[in-house]
Structure 1
Amino acid sequence: MNSFLRKGLLLPLAAATLLITACGSKPAQPAQEGSVKVNPSSLSLSDAAVTEVVTVISDCDWGVASGNKDWCTVSPSGGVAGTTPVTVKISENKGYDTRSTLLTFRYGGNKLEVPVSQTGKQKPETPETPEGITVPEGYELDWNEEFDTPGKPSLSDWWYETGGGGWGNNEIQTYVASAKDGQDLCYIADGKMTLEARKIGGTVYSIRINTKKYWKYGWFEARLKVSDVPGSWPAFWMMPQNFQTWPGDGEIDIMEYAISTQGKNKSSSSIHCGAFNWPAGTQKTHVMPVNNAASEFHVYALEWTADYMKFYVDGNLHMTFANDGKGYSHWPFDNPFYLKFNLAYGGNMGGQTDDAKLPALYEVDYVRVFKKK
């Protein structure tokens, strides 16, 4: 084929190819650039719940999302060119650790991240445990009275119950606040608090003293020396802060000692509630031998949790009372209780008395309360 023909055929083919190429392709679109600025560029917040506003300045459409919507939310979730306020809602940080997330702004193929951080709550200072105090494992000291300052118990920490009438147990004594006719019946000396039951003018007077603080759960212990005077009935126990009815609202007896009814060198621990109490003969009680209970100090303790109570003498477990999950009549012990020390005389548990052997002395070397860490 001559060159003329070849040229004649190739020219139409080239033109057709050019036409097909031109019709089948589109010119490349330039990438959308745009710009987004956020003011402020970061948020640093305290642990409290708060609502903050950031300002978005843009020349294009944009969207925003929080990296953790459980505690950080944004509104609106996007906008157009111009100036737009964005509300950032932060919930309270109830933990102790700082938490953080990102607000991510997207526009075109770009993104801008705004850091958000929120501090945790301040950890309460753990009081330094005084020298000589042994802390039970898993606990820390919450309150204690070592009775190192001679005089009277401080009325900022303690209060007295007063009066007679038997106190529901046919007791003989009349309780007074601190003293009777100039004779001290509750005093601090030689590093201990002493309660006395003493006959004055034909009447036996004694002491019933309580803490102003109250607790729900914890480890409670006192180092005590009791009395062997017949009829004396020293106790270390707890009653509910919001007491309405007995035994329904509960009673916790950490230590009771009554030589006339329990015998010498034997202490008991008990609980009372609607289902378990001494009038019905159903109370939960255990008697523990304690050598030289009235001539030496011994440590009586209670560990109280939501699930059980455990009673100890000198570190030896002797009684456990478990929460059986059957309701308030079986376990009214999910409420605050306060501590009590008293020295009763005679009555249902005090038993046979001997006034000739009075006064009876009940000594408290220390009382300590520990809470779970």
Structure 2
Amino acid sequence: MTTTPPEGYRLVWSDEFERDGAPDPAKWVHDTVRNREGWFNHERQYYARASDDNAQVRNGKLLITARRETPRDAPDWGGQHYTSARLNTRGKAEWTYGFFEVSARLPCGRGTWPAIWMLGSGGRWPDDGEFDIMEHMGRNPAQVSSAVHVAAGHGGQNIGGAFPLPDACTAFHRYQLHWTPEGASFGVDGFVYFRYPKLDTGPRAWPFDRPQFLLLNLAIGGDLGGEVDDAIFPVTMEIDYVRVYQRQP
């Protein structure tokens, strides 16, 4: 079974990253709200505000770069010794159902944890649900994974699948989610490797009939990133495009 934009869907939102400079502020928000308290999952990065050092568009690509540095002068510094960026579309663009595709080349190196994912716009986690379209751990560079987090199973009890991808760090691949009222399918380059069907078990297992927003980030360390090799920095996640298609009436 392959995943491509289905018949009857049309492009409703995209960023092709055609203008050099900062990410388009009409489309992306720099998420920094947990810097002082520390980010979830014991992650070790400080997420910078608009900064060419951590998030910039250059030559048709969005570059999210993690660096080994200590931003002591930042008013919301929480003791971190790495900087990175976390972008989302909350308040700019949110969707209920659709076909989502992100073309990206991932960083490698022990301690990196890049992700392409979605969160429920209601802001209640895990009740509003989470789609992890792609996660990658630098300590396991030849594999990517996807997961679904809901009230009935989240964190270490999430439901997910993994896919072997030996050149994830050297080539661009298309990471995909097809989300419908009947379920969600996750794929790479048109091949589906994980499905999450809607079962008749209520909102604890299927909260996905409400809007979600998109996130792109590069975390360092933490529960999945693991031990960090300081010799790898700087490391960059490159994104060629982000495209969202929806079924037309």
Alignment of 1:1-373 (within 5 A): 135-162=5-32, 163-164=34-35, 165-179=37-51, 184-201=53-70, 203-211=81-89, 212-244=92-124, 246-260=125-139, 263-279=140-156, 281=157, 283-373=158-248
Do the aligned partners of 2:121 and 2:128 also contact (CA within 8 Å) in 1? Answer: no
* Structure 1 segments of 4+ aligned residues over 3 angstroms from their partners: none
Secondary structure, aligned partner of 1:356 = helix
Amino acid at match of 1:276: G
Q: Which amino acid aligns with 1:157?
A: K
Moved more, 161-170 or 225-234: 161-170
List alignment gaps of at least 5 residues for structure 1.
Answer: 1-133
Separation (CA, whole Å) in 2 of partners of 1:360 and 1:156: 26
Cα distance in 1 for partners of 2:129, 2:167 equals: 31
CA displacement, residues 96-154 of structure 1 (integer Å, 9 cap, x when unaligned): xxxxxxxxxxxxxxxxxxxxxxxxxxxxxxxxxxxxxx843221110111001111111
1:166, 1:347 within 8 Å by CA — same for their partners in 2?
A: no
Q: TM-score w.r.t. structure 1 length?
A: 0.60
TM-score in terms of structure 2 length: 0.90
Q: Which protein has the larger Cα radius of gyration, Structure 1 or Structure 2?
A: 1
**Counterpart-to-counterpart distance in 1, 2:141 and 2:112:** 12
Deviation of 1:278 after TM superposition, in Å, equals 2.3
Task: Give CA-to-partner distance per residue, 1:337-371, whole Å, 9 cap, x none.
Answer: 01000000000000111112111100100000000
What SS does the aligned partner of 2:181 have? coil
CA distance in 2: counterparts of 1:297 and 1:369, whole angstroms: 18
**For 1:223, what is the secondary structure of its paired residue?**
strand
| Contact 2:5–2:99 (Cα < 8 Å) also in 1 | no
Cα deviations by residue, 1:158-190 (Å, 9 ceiling, x for unpaired): 1011143442200000111122xxx52100011
Larger deviation: 184-193 or 154-163? 154-163
Retained in 1: the 8 A contact 2:12–2:245? Answer: yes
Distance 2:165 2:8 in 1: 27
- Paired AA for residue 53 in structure 2: D
Aligned to 1:184, the other structure's residue is in SS state coil
Q: How many residues align?
A: 232
Give, as a single letter, the amino acid of the residue that structure 2 aligns with 1:255.
M
User: RMSD over aligned Cα, in angstroms?
Assistant: 1.4
Alpha-carbon distance between aligned partners in 1 of 2:5 and 2:144, rounded to the nearest angstrom: 24
In structure 2, C-alpha distance between the alignment counterparts of 1:277 and 1:227, rounded to whole Å: 26
Q: Which has the higher contact order (CA 8 A, sep 6+)?
A: 2
Distance 2:70 2:192 in 1: 43
Please give the alpha-carbon distance, in whole angstroms, between the structure 2 residues aligned to 1:144 and 1:364. 12
Q: Is the 8 A contact 1:234 1:344 kept in 2?
A: yes
